[in-house]
Amino acid sequence: MFISYSMVQKLLIYYNNFFLSLWSYVLANSEKVSLIYNFALKIQAVSVRNIIYTAHRVTRLAITVVTI
C-alpha cells in the first residue's frame, strides 16, 4: 500500500485535533491531569517526529522508483 502525502496530512490533522481536545480537558482539570499531559507531550513529540521521518523516507523511495 502506498502512503500518499495527503494521507499523512490527514493523519497529522487528526493527531493534532486529539491533542487539542486533550489540552482542553487538561485546562478544565489542570491539577488532576498535569502529569498525564506531560507524559502525552513526550509521546506526541516522538510520534510526530517518526511520522514526518517515515513520510520523508516514503517520498524519497517514491522519487527513486519514478526516476528508475
pLDDT single digits (tens) 1-53 = 577 888 888 888 888 888 888 777 767 777 666 677 677 777 776 777 777 77
Q: Is the pTM of this model over 0.85?
A: no
State residue 32's pLDDT score. Answer: 66
Q: How far apart are CA 34 and CA 5, in angstroms?
A: 34
State residue 38's pLDDT score. Answer: 74
DSSP 8-state symbol, 55: H
